[in-house]
Amino acid sequence: MKKFTKLIGLFSVMLLAAGCSNGGEVSAEANNASTVLRVQWIGDFQQQDSTDPITGTRRIGLHVIEEEFERLYPEVDVQFITMGWDDYVKKTQTMIISNEADVYQVPGISGLVDQNMLLSLEPYIERDNYDLSVYLDGQVEGWMVAGPDDDELKIYSLPLLGDTRFITYDKLIFDQWGVEYLSENPTIDEIKDKASQMTGINPVTGEYNYGLTYAGVDAADSIMNINESLGGIWGTGVRLSELETEFNSATMIEAANIFLDLAQYAPETALVDQGSELYGTANNNIAINFRDASKTIFSSIELGLGDRYGVSKLFINEDFSMGGMFAGSPLAISTTSENPDLAWEYIKFTSSDFVQQFLWENYNNQTLPVTTAGLTFEGIADNAEVYKMVESMEQLWTPRYIYRASQPRYILTDAVENIILGTMSIEDALNKAQKETEDWVAQQ
């Protein structure tokens, strides 16, 4: 009996040790006939085929990409690790430290490069003379960052998932009010004028319409975009410790004033992302969405609303020919990867038409193509609204706003919330944001 209990105790310790050991090594040993390449996917991606719970659309799983890569590289066993967007930065960082994958999706790239967690891709690009012109304009530049030992911006990642923001509008509401649709590149005055015309009781339905809404969580980005249209910029600097923001510039103050003017045509609770829930559905009561994402458009198409929702581009700074927050997801190789060469082959593979078209056809609710070939895909080339959407990715501000990678992002958002709520004057709020940012940078 004593021996038995000792054995049980020993077995428990062994179980604990096994639980704490690196599972990857075990699977590699079990499958020693091939090299294992582990790839992280962030988003609502499924390994197996699935059905969208809202629209009922059938989506083919990522196994197709896995099979194609393994067909091209028969000696490789690709293993996908899928996860959601919640806490993705924290999870990615933890995964890199514990060497859980070789290839990572790194929209929060700045913090990871700051910690020397990612390999520079420039030696690989040079070695293979890899043609970066396969990507849409600005997509590579948007993800360039400077590591702690770099003197200038470098390529640590290449784009996988395209994302952008734009202005959308409900053509049906425009028709009901007899207002001309928004132009492709509307001015602020055009938006304000049309939003004011469509705020009130709808002459056809008799229901109350709002002329406009905005994404409360991104209100600071909207003000920054207006600022760009006035010739302003967010600031300068390639590293967080060298940031010089212009949060209280004259153009930012003017931009905040303009935003407040526009916000009077939006639901009062838009700041906290309430009141605009019907936008994108058949029962919508809002004419213009000042800052929207592709999900609204594609969901409405899947809901059978056809081309009811139109697309216009964000504002640009004429001097720089760009404007709007750069977004999306690039791929990078971790410094802990055991197969960096193979990881690089995989990254190149993701720019192929096969991968980009697969993602477009099955996951267009969360990604747009990042390659120039994407503009020729069915559903993009033949759809003016979607084409504008993809094309708008080429005008986003690059390199992306580095201040958004850390504390200044929260500082500016706080200031903007106070401005919209009227708890602080525009000047006071933006001066405070600028001072807090300067103090924060000095502390870095």
Partner 1 sequence: MRNTTKKLRDHDNTWYLFLLPTILGLLLFTAYPILESFRLSFFKSNGTIEEFIGLQNYTYIFNNDLFWKTVWNTFYITFFQLLIGIPIAYIIACIINELKICKNFIKSLFFIPYITPVVASATVFLFVLHPSGLLNSFIGLFGVEPINWLLYPTTAQWGTIIFSNWQALGFYIIIILANLQSIPTELDKAAQVDGATKIQIWWHITTPLMKGTFRFLIIMGWISGLQRFSDVYVLGGAQGSPARSLFTIVGFIYERGFGSFEFGVASAAAYVLFAIIAIFTIVNMTLTNLKKEQ
Provide the 8-state DSSP code for 291: E
Sign, Cα dihedral of 263, 264, 268, 274: negative
Contacts of 122 by beta carbon, 8 Å cutoff, 6+ apart: 154, 155
Helix intervals (H) in 21-104: 23-30, 63-72, 88-97
**Is residue 275 part of the contact set for partner 1 (CB under 8 A)?**
yes
The verdict on 278 binding partner 1 (CB under 8 A) reads no
Answer left, alpha or beta for residue 236, where phi above 0 means left and psi between -120 and 50 means alpha.
Answer: beta
Q: Which is nearer to partner 1, 54 or 72 (CB)?
A: 54
Interface with partner 1, residue 58, by CB under 8 A: no
Structure tokens at 196: 């004011």
| Rounded distance between C-alpha atoms, residue 288 and residue 205, angstroms | 17
| Options 49, 72, 90, 244; binder of partner 1; rule CB under 8 A | 90
For residue 158, how far is the Cα from the chain centroid?
Answer: 14
Piece in contact with partner 1 (CB under 8 A), picked from 29-37, 134-142, 302-310, 406-414: 406-414
Q: Does the protein bind partner 1 through residue 9 (CB under 8 A)?
A: yes
CA angle 344, 95, 109 (to 5 degrees): 60
The correct pick among 25, 128, 268, 382 for binding partner 1 (CB under 8 A) is 268
71-82: burial string, b at 16+ Cβ within 10 Å, e else: eebeebbbbbee
**Contact letters for partner 1, residues 213-252 (x by CB under 8 A):** ---xx-----------------------------------
From the list 116, 187, 236, 376, which residue makes contact with partner 1 (rule: CB under 8 A)? 116
Interface with partner 1 (CB under 8 A), residue total: 40
Stretch that binds partner 1, among 39-47, 90-98, 189-197, 317-325 (CB under 8 A): 90-98
**Residue from 272, 282, 381, 384 in contact with partner 1 (CB under 8 A):** 272
Q: Does 5 bind partner 1 (CB under 8 A)?
A: yes
- Contact flag: residue 51 with partner 1 (CB under 8 A): no
Q: Work out the number of other CB atoms within 10 angstroms of the CB of residue 297.
A: 25
Applying CB under 8 A, the residues found at the interface with partner 1 are 2, 5-6, 8-10, 12-13, 15-16, 20, 87, 89-90, 93, 97, 111, 114-117, 148, 216-217, 268-269, 271-272, 274-275, 406-407, 410, 413-414, 417-418, 421, 423, 443
